[in-house]
Structure 1
Amino acid sequence: MTQTAIPYLFMRGGTSRGPYFNRADLPQDRETLAEVLLAVVGSGHPLNIDGIGGGAAVTTKVAMLSPSDDAWADVDYFFAQVSVEDRLVDFKPTCGNILSGVGPAAVELGLVQPTGDVTDVKIHAVNTGAKVLSKVLTPGGVLTYDGDTEIAGVPGAGAAVALNFMGVVGSSTGAFLPTGNIRDTFDGIEVTCMDVAMPMVIARAADFGLTGYESVAELDANKDFFARMEAIRLQAGAAMGMGDVAK
């Protein structure tokens, strides 16, 4: 068996983490690229024991960066969601959490040079076409990760990264309200189907018998909730013009 060394940064962005690659270091064709990412993450094992994934969807994400051909942007951000066990790679969505690490990663990879105490990094999100202005802390022209910003779900504190999103309405379906309605009803549950940065189906927690304050463990154990939610998701996907969204 032959091995090929590929450099990467291993970073947390928001509540997700994963490798950040220079796109030029990876195969260009999607089929070979997918196989490489499956191997990197170790997809196919619940602990991703033969890779750097962490056994959860939030720890099997990949960012691939390159100089942008877009006249406005500095960097292209190409995202991939790798499954934990199913050996699947999804190139369709994007990830806002991983996006928050794109600015610092672009500086680390030498794709962007610091310009002062705060460096603006203009990002083109390849998967959705969105344009995002990332403001990265570079005091004295030096990238820093120290800071006092805290977010739920992550221990400790770190440097803040401000993201300004542009061109994100209808990025997947072509419309802010893909069904043409402010509210739709599926299986007796009223929802709003919206496409802003990513297609979303928004419902009231109370309509599922939830308060919104349940712990992760409580939600994970609530199989009836997941079954009801999945049935609604499938119907909403079709109503939003996205076809069969079962996978």
Structure 2
Amino acid sequence: MLMRGGTSRGPFFCADALPSDPAERDRLLVAIMGSPHELQINGLGGGNSLSSKVAIVSPSSRPDCDVDYLFAQVSVDRERVDTRPNCGNMLAAVGPFALEHGFVQARGDETVVKIFNVNTGSVIEALVQTPQGKVTYDGDTRIDGVPGAAAPVILNFQGAQGSLTGKLFPTGSRIDIIDGIEATCLDSAMPLMIVNAASLGLTGAESPPELDGNAALLRRLEMLRLEAGRRMGLGDVADSVVPKPVLVSPAGGGLAVRSRYFTPHNCHRAHAVTGAIGVAASFVLPGTVSSALGDGTPFSHGCVSVLHPAGRLDISIEIDTPGGLPRISRAGVVRTARKIMQGTVYIPS
């Protein structure tokens, strides 16, 4: 089933339809998406990292969840599949897909689908609209980066802290100095390397094409990212899409921060949901690169706006401090999804 989730798009598969061997599965996904080719002309990919994504769903092996969701980022220009990160945008369509395939039965006009993300080991509650016991994609909710309106899908992330590294601040510091640049290395829903745009001579309001056309900037960001990955305990991340580099800048006051999110070698035309959770968390946690852009008001819960090239993402976030250490207890976001088509994809021999 080809679906849009949030501002991303890609094929959704039942896990038992794919090879159980990861290497064989990944070769198949590369062929399905048409990589490596800048247009992915021979497959289902759209020639962009946002439309070269795959979701693999199965009934959950965990008693506290309904389905397991494995996300796969298929490289556009290389024969490479990365299953280390999660994708919160594709996640928005997992609940509807699970209901469509009977993995979950609709319960009233709204159905909660509990999703275990295999990539990060986290649990997400998706609230899906199911009037008269059927999934609906029609509604009045609009999200920046997607034309038109659709039914809302509310995603509540539980235990987002330390999604991949097991620590909110994997390096042990809220600010690291990497090649003379201050960076916050944070893992909340997605491992991030956050840098103040001004420290790289930017305003932070540059458009994605401007940033993608700045070859010197991309080389510098990649060098910083590689070192950040090593310090975060992720090893050599040259062939991985995590951590993601993020440039932050002031958004004009209030609980808002401007972000340019890289995927990691190009600037996102909108913003990843999981990345926005991390950016929002860094903004309200004292002592980080992002928090220096705010007014220093103590924060425990509320909504943080992450401004991106296509608009804004509003993140509902709660922080508590058990034992004096900060913890992201809950983070939520509103997304939409759409079923585009269902059918058979043919694989070259």
Q: Normalised by the size of structure 1, how large is the TM-score?
A: 0.93
Q: Structure 1 pair 147/209, CA: closer, same or farther in 2 (3 Å)?
A: farther
* CA offset digits 1:202-233 (Å, max 9, x no partner): 12122222222222221111222212211111
Match in the other structure for 1:201? 193
SS of alignment partner, residue 128 of structure 1: coil
Match in the other structure for 1:86? 78
Equivalent position amino acid for 2:9 in 1: R
How far the C-alpha of 1:150 sits from its partner, in A, is 2.0
Q: Distance in 2 between matches of 1:12 and 1:210?
A: 32
Q: Which moved more, 1:144-153 or 1:17-26?
A: 144-153
SS of alignment partner, residue 63 of structure 2: coil
Structure 1 residues 170-185: aligned runs within 5 Å: 170-185=162-177
Match in the other structure for 2:4? 12
Match in the other structure for 1:111? 103
How far the C-alpha of 1:117 sits from its partner, in A, is 1.1
RMSD, aligned CA: 1.2
Which structure has more strand as a fraction of its residues? 2
SS of alignment partner, residue 152 of structure 2: coil
Q: Distance in 1 between matches of 2:192 and 2:205?
A: 21
Q: Which moved more, 1:165-174 or 1:74-83?
A: 165-174
SS of alignment partner, residue 238 of structure 1: helix
How far the C-alpha of 1:43 sits from its partner, in A, is 0.8
Match in the other structure for 1:21? 13
Match in the other structure for 2:137? 145
Q: Distance in 1 between matches of 2:181 and 2:108?
A: 50
Q: Distance in 1 between matches of 2:131 and 2:119?
A: 31
How far the C-alpha of 1:82 sits from its partner, in A, is 0.7
How far the C-alpha of 1:152 sits from its partner, in A, is 2.2
Match in the other structure for 2:280? none
**2:33 counterpart of 1:41:** yes
Contact 1:66 1:76 in 2 (8 A): yes
How many percent identity over aligned positions?
54
How far the C-alpha of 1:160 sits from its partner, in A, is 1.3
Structure 1 residues 203-242: aligned runs within 5 Å: 203-242=195-234
How far the C-alpha of 1:185 sits from its partner, in A, is 1.3
Q: Distance in 1 between matches of 2:140 and 2:214?
A: 35
Q: Distance in 2 between matches of 1:141 and 1:225?
A: 51
Q: Distance in 1 between matches of 2:196 and 2:151?
A: 33
Match in the other structure for 2:250? none
Structure 2: gaps of 5 or more residues: 240-349
Structure 1: gaps of 5 or more residues: 1-8
SS of alignment partner, residue 19 of structure 1: strand
- Extract structure 1 runs of 4+ deviating beyond 3 A: none
SS of alignment partner, residue 227 of structure 1: helix
How far the C-alpha of 1:10 sits from its partner, in A, is 0.4
Match in the other structure for 2:50? 58
Contact 1:129 1:167 in 2 (8 A): no
